[in-house]
Structure 1
Amino acid sequence: MKDLAQLSGINIFPVKSTSGIAQSRAYVGLEGISFDRRFVVTDTAGRMITARKYPKMVTIKSTLLPDGIVLSAPDVKDLHLSISDLEREEFECKIWSDRFFAYTTTDAANKWFSDVLDTPALLLYCGEESNRYREKLDTKVSFADGYPVLVISQGSLDELNRSASHPQSMAQFRTNLVIDGVAPFAEDSWEKIAIGDVEFKVGKACQRCVLTSVDPNTGEKMAAQEPTATLAKFRADEKGAIFFGMNLIALNEGVIEVGDELRVLETRTAITYADTRS
């Protein structure tokens, strides 16, 4: 008997490109899950700094407080940041091709990230409501790469690990939602889904980059060029771009909880990829 399709994991990443936090219940807003990618590290010109260039960022951990956040990194003192202490001066930042106003935090936060990354850095905050409106999505988005939410099924990771040279973890793919009880890559064929109180429109497949090859525990490169080496054999398009997971746009706001049933409301024809695995 097939298992019930259900939400088995919820993850948020309060500071873009840093370690995530698993949650059992979360509130989904139109711009994403509460507290997800609400902070970003940038250079002094407001251009995002990510773990693609500074892989040790994935070892920075966040702990949420009622009035703020605590950030921890190896061999340095924790940074305590209260929302009420943020300067909140408008500061233009750039996330890929999007330019919009975010807000400054504190000199102490800027210094902390500059010291940890050994490069001049700023920590910016998107506010209670992001100023980043993505016209093609018709929604606001926080500091996430392009879409508010990312979903991956456990079956998809299991299928990757069936061929990978050594086990890969869901944490490498920095997904918000994990779904159990569906076939590998079932998410490719979803057009509209519902979880808990929230309905989601399914956007494009998520194109993966070098960040998936960074060990989320150590910040070091994974062995044997994984998972790229394996994904390239069965999840690449004709141009060689690799896809794993699907982007989501929330159509309404509400609560989701681990254990909620996944309801597939509409489907699409899934993109097919050449499979060169032996």
Structure 2
Amino acid sequence: MEKAASLLSSLLLGGGESPEPAAVVKSIFIYPIKSCKGISVPQAPITATGFRWDRQWMVVNSKGRAYTQRVEPRLALVEVEMPPEAFAEDWRERALTWRSTPDAHMVIRAPGMGPLKIPLVAERATVDDISVWEWSGSAYDEGAEAAEWFSTFFGIPTRLVRFKEVLETRLTDPDYSQGYKTMFSDGFPFLIASQGSLDALNEILKEPIPMNRFRPNILVDRCHPYSEDLWKTIKINKLTFLGVKLCGRCKVPRINQDNGIPSTTEPTETLLTFRSDEVLRPSHKNKRQVYFGQNLVCKESLSANGNGRIIRVGDAVYVLQSFSSSDEVPA
């Protein structure tokens, strides 16, 4: 009976992995506007480009180039609110009836500014020559009111644009994952990190920091520190995620996400002592990087059928395949 129960459990998980979870999803974060504050949600549907709404908008300068916390740390002060219904599995079916309802808006706030409402379903003009990193293309322009709001807050000409998913495609780096898409994220649709990793870092930092410095999409708990580095294939709610690249950290983790003030050294200086190329990947060329978290893609995002593609806080995380060491993990 015990063997039969174990076999049935494995089959239900969809892959034959051990029925014992390696971790549990503690939090899910969506960042609707690139480099602005994230929002914590109890569940998140998965689309062809990542979590629904994640990095779908972006602030750009007068030349159409992405405006990020690397250049303007005060983006951390811009708060975004989304209606809970936006994360329902059947949102697309509801979308047409939302056009005339007050809930069909993203609300944006910042210190000293009144709220700005951006319709989630609306016809918008197109603007060309929008760029982020290696990608350039067209996007929807969110209009004069949004442009004035952001220009006033930052004191320089800026606009808010939205990814034009119906016509544009932004592929992930084929050296790490082929055929996967994202919107305005830095490079990949998902970033996973663990509470254990943060706790281990905070034990040696002089001043502990919160997880929002690292801006993950999926925060897991009940696993050993940095174990997420080695997760090659994991399953969450019958969805298969592939670990494709350690996340090399820029200066954003040095920016206090509550006040937009950057530190000159931490946590980078401490991470260099045990999370650098030299320490983690000694057989590879040193890129002078420090690593925290891992980038993921989701196999099911390649499928046209979107039914049931959702993960929730509390979901178990099952590890199907692991890298043998951090030296083996792509970065």
Q: TM-score, normalised by structure 2?
A: 0.78
Do the aligned partners of residues 107 and 85 (structure 1) sit closer, same or farther apart at CA in structure 2, a change above 3 Å counting? Answer: farther
Are the equivalent residues in 1 in contact too, given 2:37–2:77 (CA < 8 A)?
A: yes
Distance 1:32 1:96 in 2: 18
Aligned twin of 2:50: 32
Aligned twin of 1:58: 76
Do the aligned partners of residues 259 and 60 (structure 1) sit closer, same or farther apart at CA in structure 2, a change above 3 Å counting? Answer: same
Aligned twin of 2:207: 166
Aligned twin of 1:245: 293
- SS of residue in 2 equivalent to 1:111: helix
Are the equivalent residues in 2 in contact too, given 1:150–1:245 (CA < 8 A)?
A: yes
Aligned twin of 1:276: none
- SS of residue in 2 equivalent to 1:192: strand
Distance 2:164 2:268 in 1: 35
Q: Does 1:17 align with 2:35?
A: yes
Are the equivalent residues in 2 in contact too, given 1:29–1:250 (CA < 8 A)?
A: no
Gaps of 5+ in 1: 274-278
Q: Which moved more, 1:228-237 or 1:92-101?
A: 92-101
Are the equivalent residues in 1 in contact too, given 2:61–2:158 (CA < 8 A)?
A: yes
Alignment root-mean-square deviation, CA: 1.9
Structure whose alpha-carbon radius of gyration is higher: 2
> How far off its partner does 1:272 sit?
4.8
- SS of residue in 2 equivalent to 1:219: coil
Look up the equivalent residue of 2:189 and give its one-letter code.
P
Q: Does 1:195 align with 2:250?
A: no
Distance 1:152 1:250 in 2: 16
Are the equivalent residues in 2 in contact too, given 1:100–1:132 (CA < 8 A)?
A: no
- SS of residue in 1 equivalent to 2:325: coil
Q: Structure 1 vs Structure 2: percent identity of aligned residues?
A: 31
Are the equivalent residues in 2 in contact too, given 1:101–1:131 (CA < 8 A)?
A: no
1:11-47 C-alpha deviation (Å, 9 max, x unpaired): 0011000000001111012311011111001112211
1:95-149 C-alpha deviation (Å, 9 max, x unpaired): 1112232221111111111111111111110145552233613111110000000
Q: Does 1:105 align with 2:142?
A: yes
Distance 2:235 2:218 in 1: 12
Residue 234 of structure 1, aligned match among 255, 274, 280: 274
> How far off its partner does 1:71 sit?
0.3
Distance 2:217 2:322 in 1: 21
Higher relative helix content: 2
Are the equivalent residues in 1 in contact too, given 2:21–2:319 (CA < 8 A)?
A: no
Look up the equivalent residue of 1:244 and give its one-letter code.
F
In the alignment of these two chains, the number of paired residues is 271
Higher relative strand content: 1
- SS of residue in 1 equivalent to 2:272: helix
Residue 110 of structure 2, aligned match among 68, 73, 91: 73
Are the equivalent residues in 1 in contact too, given 2:170–2:181 (CA < 8 A)?
A: yes
Distance 2:258 2:165 in 1: 30
Distance 1:42 1:218 in 2: 21
Look up the equivalent residue of 2:294 and give its one-letter code.
M
Report 1:120-135 matches (<5 A): 120-127=157-164, 131-134=169-172
